[in-house]
Chain A
């Protein structure tokens, strides 16, 4: 998985790609199923967040790269993670697909004058709605993973006692778990506090929410921290919880 999110702005989705406004809530993978341009954006910018050719003549001070998509041209911007005073990331990095247009070199309707026109009208860069939609979708994806994926992970662990199972929940949270057939049996889950993509610190509430998904029957009074994962050391970024699993 890339160390950045990939996202299409709402303006681009609606005006350039012909999606309905509701598409802002869809995942990029879902959009890519029905749109080759989104698919190409996903393929190309998953590996390299920046391109080689810069869109020139923009008034905004952003370095916007062109994306060659057959006869179309796209404009993408790599918004790097914002760091706090200590240099710790406080936002995820994102590659935004800002605009797409058919390339007709030298014509007024060509992609590049179109990009410059959008920029001049302050319509090229992501809006507050785009940013909020990105973060909301990320939360929904993680919530869905807690409900749907975690029970399968627990089942897998139970079927392979002693084996450490690793997973990435909702493309955001790395976890490792192990079921030990001791007397009584024990389930331990180690949760990384470094959020993907990048290395953002996890909000403290999330740790309890994720622990609750793995230990759905555990009364709070029995919730225990574990200093290791089935005898193996934890990573410095992990916090582990355990409970009996009878």
Chain B
């Protein structure tokens, strides 16, 4: 059965390397991107696992403050953008 695919935009400069690897490995560009993604996940498995497992622990413990703190990603940029808008 054919695997479903979806279009993904990549940087123009990455098109050459993807084609090169596809040719060398005798794979399709989609297979090269798929394999690269799998390797990326493997490389970053530790940090992904740490975030996911820590979240599970906080949820199990009902740690409201801990979870709220874990959701602070991107907050500084939002605060700065909103303040610049207020002062602008």
Contact = CB atoms under 8 A, between A and B. Distances in A.
> Do these two chains interact?
yes
A106 interface: no
A143 interface: yes
B10 interface: no
Report the interface size class on chain B: 20 to 34
Interface in A78-103: 79, 82, 90-92, 94
B79 A216 contact: no
Contacts of A143: 64-65, 67-68, 70-71
B68 to A, nearest CB: 4
Contacts of A203: 71, 73-74
28 contacts: A82-B85, A91-B78, A125-B86, A131-B79, A135-B75, A139-B68, A140-B68, A142-B68, A143-B65, A143-B70, A144-B64, A150-B59, A205-B71, A205-B73, A206-B71, A209-B55, A209-B70, A209-B71, A211-B52, A212-B52, A212-B56, A212-B59, A213-B59, A218-B56, A220-B45, A220-B49, A220-B52, A220-B53
Interface of A: 79, 82, 90-92, 94, 125-126, 128, 131-132, 135-136, 139-140, 142-144, 146-147, 150, 203-206, 208-209, 211-213, 215-218, 220, 223, 227
